[in-house]
Amino acid sequence: MSTMKKSFGDRVFDTIIVILLILFCITVLYPFLNQLTLSISTKTDATKKGLHLIPNFTNITLDSYRRVLLGGSIIKAFFWTILRTSLGTAFSVSVTIMMAYSLSKRYLPYRNFWTFLVVFTMFFSGGLIPSFLLIRSLGMMNTIWALVLPPVAAAFSLIIARNFMMSIPEEMAESARIDGANDITILFWIYIPVSMPIIATLSLWSMVSHWNAWFDAMIYIQRPPIRMLQEVLRRVLIDSVMATADVTQQAMAMEELEYAPVTIRAAVLMIVTFPIVCTYPFFQRYFVKGVMIGSLKG
């Protein structure tokens, strides 16, 4: 079968798109490569002026990672962050799917009213102080539940999941009801297996949100041992900025240290970022399908 030849204008347009995508990829990859190079560089190489994209392969060192991991705070923060991410994702996806199934059914009494309440929370909220007072009155301060339960049902995720389930043919549920199945059976044995794309999408959103969150942990967790990775990273970044406030003192301190603070900062950043980046390929096959189908039908 013969294919149509592209016109000159189409080739120019494709070339421009390719160039823009290459530039976009460079802007995305540069910070990551820069921090990776700094994290495995020696103090001398890391403090040199200029771009740090390619490490000096003759002087690669893992001392920064060794110092960070042997400190102990990162390991504890890893445990609490993984616990928060696991619990938060499990609760969020479970509640969202069950609520989405209910809102997707036309026979739900006052369905439009409940949907309006969900959408309303996307534009208006109680604010930080009422949320803090509520968490404190419920006795969840300084517990992992203060970080897991408040974001358990995100309105945007709920609307996307609801629209996805509305695209599932109702005949599947009706045939199951003829065989005596109730809504719980239909949800777990018919809708959930078909809804794996949207479940994977919601899981990825929830995991990234919980992994990157730090403000709620700073507000609701006021004493150890609960510490999140993003809090540790924030503390390292603040200490690094304060250390560079006085150039003279920094230069004197740099001569005494066996490592550069910038390498420690880069190592912490890579340790915090790398795990969540590695999870994306496992959800990529479902991600686009789940978002596209969930955003079309209203």
With cut-offs at 50, 70 and 90, classify the pLDDT of residue 1: very low
Which amino acid, residue 93? V
Domain boundaries, the chain: 63-296
Tens digit of each residue's pLDDT (9 = 90 or more) over 219-268 = 998 877 788 888 888 877 776 666 555 444 444 444 445 567 788 888 88
The pair of structure tokens assigned to 142 is 């300084």
Q: Give CA–CA dist 229/192, Å, rounded.
A: 32
Q: Count CB-CB contacts under 10 A for residue 234.
A: 16
Q: Give the model confidence (pLDDT) of 114-140 as tens digits.
A: 999 988 988 888 888 889 999 999 999
d(CA 23, CA 199): 32
pTM: 0.79
pLDDT value of residue 17: 94
Query: Which residue has 């599932």 as its token pair?
Result: 168
- pLDDT value of position 243: 55
The whole-angstrom separation of Cα 151 and Cα 202 is 13
**What is the tens place of the pLDDT at every residue in 144-164?**
999 999 989 889 899 989 988
Residue 225, preceding peptide bond in cis (omega within 30° of 0): yes
**How many percent of the chain have pLDDT more than 70?**
86
User: Residue 288 pLDDT more than 80?
Assistant: no
pLDDT level of residue 171 (50, 70, 90 thresholds): confident
What span, in angstroms and rounded, lies between the C-alpha atoms of 286 and 204? 10
Alpha helix (H) ranges present in 104-169? 111-120, 128-137, 145-148, 155-166
Cα–Cα distance, 205 to 160 (Å, whole number): 12
Could you write out the DSSP letters of every residue in 71-87? Answer: TSHHHHHHHHHHHHHHH
Looking at 1.10.3720.10, 1.20.870.10, 1.10.287.1770, 1.10.287.3510, the CATH number of the domain 63-296 comes to 1.10.3720.10
